[in-house]
Structure 1
């Protein structure tokens, strides 16, 4: 695709109508300046969409009209060829301070850009809006109107649509603050129908967007796989020296183990966010999102499928490390003590104290007080908790439009109370078997089956991520 073939669209409209939000969302660019005050955009700014180092489409954020009435009056008096009206206006007014904004916003149109006219659909239609529309009609450039439904108020929607049908080649209702990936693609599909000459280039753009989305899904699946494998293999060992309390050593290891896993999860979530080009602003999760809870909190485990009693048991093994196995080593040999005694030991449990545990006998072998090992997690429920939290985070990321700059969040419908458990709770027996096989292979270190189990889980994750992104 040469520079001349790269589709270019000028985003035009009255100040503070959501132009910059539309640009940011369509270009997936966090750097677009979006302010609360009218007229903050004073010069055209171009935001290219680049995939694999190649520009595939560009959007231009323009100033608002400064003197639309005088501009329209000049254009109505114009006697030259119709295709030259924009160049003639700029040439006639380039040194007039009163028409600086008009010359600036018309400059991309002069070089052949298509027009996307943005209005706030929550307000009534005004005379100045009709004037601006007539100016754009006189440019004779292909144009689409976007009703940026910033609010839920739709009482003026029909009036806007009726007027737009007179003036524009296509109309879209598009909420720049909540537009999903599918809605962005639908808008591009609509642009194809505005002008037949755009179709070949926009077909390429849409295909590249779809391929790029597949790459993001692949990248997210890989990040989740790396997180799971790293946490399932995490072990920490501490020595019990003379006169040192074994229970204190155990608690220190458990806290360190939890902190490391939480840091791994945080890094994985940051990687998912980066996959979807959210590089500057933090995502504001819905107030009721379970991701506000600590990974090892009881609320997290309750929400993601465990009963209150099970929370204590699963999170209590190894002192709250979410099912981590706590083994005692003697003479360099590690025995799966907790695999045998089950849930007898819990966080704060009086069943076996830290000191008594260090002196346990297992199958006739006296276990010394030399070392304590925390990890790896031995409960598959821990695997599902990590997985569910990653999927919930993914669902929030893909539905966070780049035009958002506030804390307003419609929220994932699953976070609105319809989903009382994690996503995995509703997976089929076949899906859970794939998870169980992978968990057993990793925790039991079955190296021969590792590749097949990993490939099966990776394919499953990609399928589930695809399903979430198509909602």
Structure 2
């Protein structure tokens, strides 16, 4: 095979073994068509993996084998030496009638015989069949560098005696286990480095690709820390105009909730676009009925930050105000807005509710001045809620392989932040929210660029620690075979 500057891989195998999912995850491309029905891929289609504007890898998604045993029978009908087998495969492709009779086999063999390496995909939960062996023998006849990937589509029913491993070792230079629906960067890098060992000339570009991915992640972490810090500050300082209508309070509640939800959706959407998840969607829940008597119970606060008794301790340590939901006004005075001393969550939340009742009137300030603004949400748990959701959302999207097509649902649980971290967040929130300059919707100058940078640095370190733990957990769970297995 002639050395190439850009490694090219043809992903092949039987239908419904996850070939397209592997292409999507390795190429970080969610436009690759994936379906549960057999025959989703009908034609060979090449996807380029571009990093920093440069093509680093080409992956060709192919139809599955349909008549492997008949093709192998044709190849073996004429005795040839091992060195002549690739020419025999080319002779098979040169026959016009084979294009009609074996369209899928021709589609997948064309790019291989044009110089692509082979990534053969199997399902560990299925037994090895004669058709599988015929496919592997055909691929060996091509003479191209080849690697096998065991896709644990159903890990609970994977082959306990590793028959696949022993069989694949006879046909392929490397054998790896790789789940395209869970593989984060370390798992992908491990697979790519094995690809780099398939043939001369691939090691250097693959190593360069892995280094660039690491550099990209460092830059991504820095960028998203700034973006998340700006988003958190915006949520905590959000204020909306309040008109003079009698229904102004109820209207302001709804508008404030919608705006907080919209800003969370915008934050998610921008990350998804920047990271190539253009088809990703964040799960929406039914909005809480803010006019009803039943609202979100305080017992569920722990899901987002602190338990109620802990919240009071941390809030007291931070000097944060308790029992105040939303500021409504000009200057330093405030009036409880809504039936609660909680705050607005985001998409999955609604309001954090206490057992306080909604006042049925809107007061005036001394001197006859009416309140003109609704917001910000001042409940001391609200900063922790917003940060917990944003960090969780960022982590889940970061670790999400591009082969995933399900709606992203936040899996937020009780935070493991130290008491000092919780106090620090609440102190930053207090500095952001108090006081406001009358007539302005931006925070006062007490919140400085230096304070914002400290917030960004905290987010950077916290998110980095969470990602590192997630990668370590995934590495511990991955079924890996790191020994080099030369083909016979």
- TM-score band w.r.t. shorter chain: 0.7 to 0.9
CA distance in 1, matches of 2:64, 2:359: 73
Q: Does residue 1:259 correspond to 2:268, yes or no?
A: no
> Superposed, which structure 2 residues align to 1:35-434 within 5 Å?
35-76=35-76, 77=78, 78=80, 81=84, 84-92=87-95, 96-151=99-154, 152-155=156-159, 158-240=162-244, 245=246, 248-282=247-281, 297-298=296-297, 301-307=301-307, 324-329=325-330, 334-337=331-334, 349=356, 354-355=361-362, 357-358=363-364, 366-405=366-405, 419=413, 421-422=414-415, 425-427=416-418, 429=420, 431-432=421-422, 434=424
2: CA distance between counterparts of 1:214 and 1:17?
33
Please list, as runs of the form range in 1=range in 2, the aligned pairs for 1:448-459 lying within 5 A after superposition. Answer: 450-459=448-457
Cα displacement string for residues 47-92 of structure 1 (whole angstroms, at most 9, x for unaligned residues): 1112233211111011222332233234343457455444343224
TM-score normalized with structure 2 length: 0.77
Is the deviation greater in 132-141 or in 191-200? Answer: 191-200
Secondary structure of 2:162's counterpart equals helix
Aligned match of 1:318: none
| C-alpha distance in 2 between matches for 1:26 and 1:229 | 35
Note the alpha carbon deviations across 1:87-126, whole angstroms, 9 max, x for none: 3432245754113322221111122211100011111110
Pick closer, same or farther for the CA change 1:250–1:367 going to 2, 3 Å: farther
Over 3 Å counting, the alpha-carbon distance change for 1:227 and 1:218 in structure 2 is same
Partner of 1:315: none
Contact 1:10 1:59 survives alignment (8 Å): yes
Per-residue CA distance 1:356-382 (angstroms, 9 max, x = gap)? x426xxxxxx34253343222334421
Which residue of structure 1 aligns with residue 345 of structure 2?
none
Q: Does the 8 A contact of 2:325 with 2:377 survive in 1? A: yes
Deviation at 1:8, TM superposition (A): 0.9
Task: Name the structure 1 match of 2:425.
Answer: 435
Give deviations 1:153-191, integer Å, cap 9, x for gaps.
123560000101111111111122222232112211222
**Cα RMSD (Å) of the superposition?**
3.6
Q: Distance in 1 between matches of 2:20 and 2:308?
A: 47
Comparing 300-309 with 17-26, which one deviates more in the overlay? 300-309
Q: Deviations over 1:315-350 (max 9, x none)?
A: xxxxxx995542444xxxx233469xxx99998956
Are 1:236 and 1:374, in contact at CA under 8 Å, matched by a contact in 2? yes
By how many angstroms is 1:404 displaced?
Answer: 2.9
2: CA distance, partners of 1:157 / 1:57:
34
The answer for the alignment partner of 1:288 in structure 2 is: none
Could you tell me how far apart the structure 1 residues matched to 2:64 and 2:24 are? Answer: 17
The 1:379–1:308 alpha-carbon spacing in structure 2 relative to 1, beyond 3 Å, is: closer
In 2 relative to 1, CA 156–283 (structure 1 residues): closer, same or farther, beyond 3 Å? farther
Q: Compared with structure 1, are the counterparts of its residues 107 and 161 closer, same or farther at alpha carbon in structure 2 (3 Å cutoff)? A: same
Residues 443 and 203 of structure 1, relative CA distance in 2, 3 Å threshold: same
- The aligned counterpart of 1:317 is none
How many residue pairs get aligned? The number is: 428
- Local SS of the residue matching 1:55: strand
Mapped contact 1:46–1:58 kept (Cα < 8 A): yes
| Shift in alpha-carbon separation, 1:260–1:311, aligned structure 2, 3 A | farther
1:302 Cα offset (Å): 3.8
* Residues 322 and 54 (structure 1), Cα distance of their counterparts in 2 relative to 1, 3 Å cut: farther
1:17 equivalent in alignment to 2:17 = yes
Deviation for aligned residue 1:45: 0.5
CA distance in 2: counterparts of 1:38 and 1:204, whole angstroms: 36
2-side partners of 1:260 and 1:467: how far apart?
A: 31
Q: Give the helix-richer structure, 1 or 2.
A: 1
SS in 2 for 1:118: strand
